[in-house]
């Protein structure tokens, strides 16, 4: 993707498909014209308590959306339950309370597993970052490890994309010597993941992949941009078009604006 961004900056490629972070890096020389859409969730609340409990179980039946979110989850550990109880009672957690917790996070390059949770901390706690926390467990083995740590009450907080609980709902309550139909190992919990793994923080939107045009291109005109937007939206709304773009897991396109990726630019500063 960086090679595509560099070529677009030089004007040797007119049009490219770039992840949000790559677009932000090269946005001085490129312009986003479309954002890929994905199937949205039944919940998009910024209030963490709205995500918790069986009655609020998230369904993957929302409208097409141009972004997803990361969530900060309190585990069923004794201290995790304390944090969840405060949030579900409408109280805001203090930095000291969060700093006391044991966190499990993903690699520093992970948008949902590190970067946007860091931005959430910075926004709500006077610029504090994950790197300022006293007790952080970095995970190299993915979200499955985070959920298994949560189920075993080895950590108090994990971070993951917003529909993570959907992906681990079945394995959460399976015996540890069994696997769900997708091959995930059982975690041996007795209560629902929706009751036991409570959201205590909701990040800003993480915008999806872009279709962008080079500002150095001879085709960089308002008329051509409008034509390209119409063209790609029309194509992906056909069965044949969906097959073409399925290589990117794109299910639709929506007209985009550069400011949608301000969060991605802020994210670059976090990891730089």
Mean pLDDT of 133-154: 96
Give residue 131's pLDDT.
95
Place of tokens 């020389």: 29
Q: How far apart are the first and last CA of the chain?
A: 18
pTM for the structure as a whole:
0.89
Give residue 247's pLDDT.
84
Q: What angle do CA 180, 185, 191 make, to 5 degrees?
A: 75
Is 90 exceeded by the pLDDT of residue 269? no
Write the CATH number of the domain with boundaries 70-202: 3.40.190.10
Is 90 exceeded by the pLDDT of residue 246? no
Same fold, 2-38+207-271 and 70-202: yes
Is 80 exceeded by the pLDDT of residue 237? yes
CATH superfamily of 2-38+207-271: Periplasmic binding protein-like II (3.40.190.10)
Our separate counts of H helices and E strands in the chain read 11, 12
Packing angle, helices 143-151 and 164-172, rounded to 10: 50
Give residue 268's pLDDT.
86
Is 70 exceeded by the pLDDT of residue 217? yes
Residue extents of the structural domains in the chain = 2-38+207-271, 70-202
- What's the pLDDT tens digit per position in 148-171? 999 999 999 999 999 999 999 999
- What's the pLDDT tens digit per position in 3-51? 999 999 999 999 999 999 899 999 999 999 999 998 899 999 999 999 9
Mean pLDDT of 221-227: 97
Q: What is the mean pLDDT of the chain?
A: 95
Is 70 exceeded by the pLDDT of residue 92? yes
Give residue 194's pLDDT.
98
| pLDDT bracket for residue 272 (50, 70, 90) | low
Q: What CA–CA distances, in Å, run from 172 to 31, 52, 145?
A: 43, 16, 12
Nearest Cα to 211, choosing from 228, 224, 235, 234? 228
* 187 and 174 Cβ atoms separated by less than 8 Å: yes
């Amino acid at each position: 993707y960086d090679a595509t961004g560099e070529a677009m900056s030089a004007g040797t490629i007119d049009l490219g498909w770039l992840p949000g972070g790559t677009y932000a890096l090269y946005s001085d020389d490129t312009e986003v014209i479309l954002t890929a859409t994905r199937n949205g969730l039944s919940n998009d609340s910024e209030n963490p308590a709205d995500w918790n409990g069986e009655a609020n179980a998230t369904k993957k039946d929302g409208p097409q959306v141009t972004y997803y979110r990361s969530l900060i989850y309190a585990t069923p550990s004794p201290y995790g339950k304390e944090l969840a109880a405060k949030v579900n009672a409408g109280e805001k957690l203090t930095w000291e309370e969060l700093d006391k917790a044991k966190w499990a996070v993903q690699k520093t390059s992970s948008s949902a597993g590190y970067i946007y949770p860091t931005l959430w901390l910075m926004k709500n706690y006077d610029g504090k970052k994950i790197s300022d926390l006293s007790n952080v467990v970095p995970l190299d083995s993915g979200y499955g490890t985070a959920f298994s740590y949560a189920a075993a009450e080895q950590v108090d907080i994990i971070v993951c994309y917003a529909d993570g609980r959907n992906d681990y709902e079945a394995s959460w309550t399976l015996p540890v010597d069994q696997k769900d139909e997708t091959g995930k190992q059982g975690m041996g919990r007795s209560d629902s993941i929706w009751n036991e793994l409570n959201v205590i923080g909701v990040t800003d939107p993480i915008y999806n992949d872009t279709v962008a045009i080079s500002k150095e291109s001879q085709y960089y005109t308002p008329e051509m941009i409008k034509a390209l937007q119409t063209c790609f939206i029309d194509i992906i709304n056909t069965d044949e078009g969906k097959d073409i773009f399925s290589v990117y897991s794109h299910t639709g396109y929506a007209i985009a604006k550069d400011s949608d990726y301000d969060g991605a630019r802020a994210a670059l500063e976090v990891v730089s």
